[in-house]
Chain A
């Protein structure tokens, strides 16, 4: 009995993983993206063990001198801040926050966006009108004032930053998935499924969803990338969670210290990490885009 449950649960899961892995690795760019992403993931998971120092500890060098604003050296691989914090340790621990925010808000936003897109596209009419006008209202919402209001209401907590990012980001995926749903629901096999007596729920989630899946995964990757960028900019503007450390937050500290012109190493490391992570996600989404749009494939 238990093996049966295991089989019914893990076999499809295994199949999905193998299939998705196949899609990404069939594309060289996808392989590069996946390896960067895995690298960041490993760093994030093992961050506390990988970081050589406490990120909030003032460092002293071998000569017992206060290590303020040191450029990269053997002792401090990525240099230090003006308060003597080790940037390498900060960067490693920040990977965790950034990936957490990215994946959580990416996942929630695609969940909301996909459902709203599928329902609006499938039912059409008044439901479509209602949901899409709501989406339009969110399109008109300027991001920064929105997040400032949200944070001044609830405080600078990670949950509210994620909430703010999600509320802004899902709109594009909803629109795109709605458009694709409208195109797919007019195909013959949906009419055939209806004739077979399938319920609306079944048609939406069993017949239309798998057909929009490549597009959905593409937008999931986009959403994660956008969440990371958005988190970085909110942190940079000082709306980040003060208790955690993120790449954007590191840049904000640099900005506050006023040492931007001096400490090139301080902005180089987090910036490069943001760029690499976003690029890796874009490369992965490109691998999916080739599935969704075969014309991009090389012959």
Chain B
């Protein structure tokens, strides 16, 4: 992990205005992505992962209100950049996206290769032949036969379409690739093949990757650093090793319990009772306090601040000083059941 910062986000907030009131989808999120690293963002559905990256790429509907103290991508301030310049100079050429459900992200009436060529030609003055050559090369990188370029999306299988989308994201050698659930909806074998391919690509090119998924196994396998997101907040942020060896937030502890370990056979999985907050209306206190077995009084009316535990280890919890004790308690089923 080099110290070359690719992306810096500070205090990012996203609010949606709805008829039921404002939805606080992303709250006070700060993180850095360094060169050549995979930054994983884990969290359950509806915790604000996709909103976060859409805010970065400016793909949110007009009803969303994005505020941030700082968003810089390789030294460029993105926040104040006008829409047109952002679209022409940043989108895809510096920051690309493998969208959620990449399977449906190809226009059904165009040949797959042409759509990748479009991405190339929208941002460079390459001729058709050059763009075609580049596309063939990209197909090769992601492990697709280059002669499949002239096929239509419906002639591709799910895994092939996913790879085509990954090829498209690589088209302009962006410094940052955001992958939103790149393996969701694929069977385990295809998933494994795609992940292996992403790992191989990482070695070939020098892009940083933000990997977003709800699949803890995928994120553990792929990421250098991981952020755990809940209720629009980053609850804990640490290197992958730290996060799994010394998890510090009660929510991370709960997640770890719910995830099967191959080393300890026969161990019963413990789930976290309750369900995530709706995020509608004014959120007061820690979003996790209702489901947290260790909550104390002021958890419900005061949002905990970020506490730094180590260089890359941050946690948002009032009880971060009691972690060793909490870790032990959290591994017992009774602790969680007492909440019901």
Are A195 and B107 in touch, CB under 8 angstroms? no
Task: Please give me the residue from chain A that is nearest to B86 by CB atom.
Answer: A197
Task: Please give me the residue from chain A that is nearest to B171 by CB atom.
Answer: A196
- A192-B99 contact given A197-B123, A210-B110, A211-B107, CB 8 Å threshold: yes
Interface string of B32-62 (1 = CB under 8 A from A): 0000000000000000000000000101001
Which residues of A113-139 are within 8 A (CB) of B? 125
Segment at the interface with B among A43-51, A183-191, A258-266 = A183-191
Segment at the interface with A among B90-98, B239-247, B274-282 = B90-98
Residue from A188, A197, A207, A211 with most neighbouring chain B CB atoms (10 Å)? A197
Are A196 and B91 in touch, CB under 8 angstroms? yes
A199 at the interface (CB under 8 A from B): yes
A123 → chain B, closest Cβ, in Å?
11
Residue from A125, A189, A195 with most neighbouring chain B CB atoms (10 Å)? A195
B101 at the interface (CB under 8 A from A): yes
B198 at the interface (CB under 8 A from A): no
Are A198 and B118 in touch, CB under 8 angstroms? yes
- A197-B107 contact given A188-B101, A191-B59, A192-B99, CB 8 Å threshold: no
CA distance A7 to B247 in the complex (A): 64
- A189-B87 contact given A194-B59, A197-B123, A210-B110, CB 8 Å threshold: no
Task: Please give me the residue from chain A that is nearest to B104 by CB atom.
Answer: A188
In the complex, chain A residues whose CB is within 8 Å of the CB of B102: 192
Task: Please give me the residue from chain B that is nearest to A199 by CB atom.
Answer: B87
CA distance A191 to B104 in the complex (A): 10
A272 at the interface (CB under 8 A from B): no
In the complex, chain A residues whose CB is within 8 Å of the CB of B110: 210
Residue from A196, A206, A207 with most neighbouring chain B CB atoms (10 Å)? A196
B228 at the interface (CB under 8 A from A): no
In the complex, chain A residues whose CB is within 8 Å of the CB of B88: 197
Are B99 and A191 in touch, CB under 8 angstroms? yes
Residue from B92, B96, B105 with most neighbouring chain A CB atoms (10 Å)? B105
Task: Please give me the residue from chain A that is nearest to B62 by CB atom.
Answer: A125
- A193-B99 contact given A198-B118, A198-B122, CB 8 Å threshold: no
B97 CB contact (under 8 Å) in A195, A198, A206: A195
In the complex, chain A residues whose CB is within 8 Å of the CB of B87: 197, 199
In the complex, chain B residues whose CB is within 8 Å of the CB of A202: 122
A146 → chain B, closest Cβ, in Å?
37
Are A191 and B109 in touch, CB under 8 angstroms? no
B28 → chain A, closest Cβ, in Å?
25
A189 CB contact (under 8 Å) in B93, B96, B104: B104
In the complex, chain B residues whose CB is within 8 Å of the CB of A210: 107, 109-110
In the complex, chain B residues whose CB is within 8 Å of the CB of A199: 87
Are B107 and A196 in touch, CB under 8 angstroms? no
A186 → chain B, closest Cβ, in Å?
10
Are B91 and A189 in touch, CB under 8 angstroms? no
Interface size on B (CB < 8 Å)? 26
Are A187 and B92 in touch, CB under 8 angstroms? no
Are B99 and A207 in touch, CB under 8 angstroms? no
B168 at the interface (CB under 8 A from A): yes
B92 CB contact (under 8 Å) in A191, A195, A206: A195
B46 → chain A, closest Cβ, in Å?
18
- A195-B104 contact given A210-B109, A210-B110, A211-B109, CB 8 Å threshold: no
Are B91 and A197 in touch, CB under 8 angstroms? yes
Are A196 and B99 in touch, CB under 8 angstroms? no
Task: Please give me the residue from chain B that is nearest to A187 by CB atom.
Answer: B104
CA distance A235 to B101 in the complex (A): 56
CA distance A172 to B116 in the complex (A): 36
Are B59 and A193 in touch, CB under 8 angstroms? no
A216 → chain B, closest Cβ, in Å?
13
Which residues of A75-120 are within 8 A (CB) of B? none
Are A192 and B123 in touch, CB under 8 angstroms? no
In the complex, chain B residues whose CB is within 8 Å of the CB of A198: 118, 122
In the complex, chain B residues whose CB is within 8 Å of the CB of A192: 97, 99, 102, 105-106, 165
In the complex, chain A residues whose CB is within 8 Å of the CB of B104: 187-189
CA distance A199 to B106 in the complex (A): 17
B108 at the interface (CB under 8 A from A): yes
B119 at the interface (CB under 8 A from A): yes
Are A196 and B168 in touch, CB under 8 angstroms? yes
A200 → chain B, closest Cβ, in Å?
10
CA distance A16 to B332 in the complex (A): 68
B94 → chain A, closest Cβ, in Å?
10
Are B99 and A197 in touch, CB under 8 angstroms? no
Interface string of B150-170 (1 = CB under 8 A from A): 000000000000000100100
A215 → chain B, closest Cβ, in Å?
13
A18 → chain B, closest Cβ, in Å?
16
- A195-B99 contact given A187-B104, A189-B107, CB 8 Å threshold: yes
In the complex, chain A residues whose CB is within 8 Å of the CB of B168: 196
B55 → chain A, closest Cβ, in Å?
13
Which residues of A155-195 are within 8 A (CB) of B? 187-189, 191-195
In the complex, chain A residues whose CB is within 8 Å of the CB of B91: 195-197
Extra pairs beyond A188-B99, A192-B106 (4, CB < 8 Å): A191-B99, A194-B59, A196-B118, A206-B118
User: Could you write out 29 A-B pairs with CB less than 8 Å apart?
Assistant: A188-B105, A189-B105, A189-B106, A189-B108, A191-B99, A191-B105, A192-B102, A192-B105, A193-B107, A194-B59, A195-B57, A195-B91, A195-B97, A196-B118, A196-B119, A196-B122, A197-B92, A197-B119, A197-B122, A197-B123, A199-B87, A202-B122, A207-B107, A210-B107, A210-B109, A210-B110, A211-B108, A211-B109, A213-B109
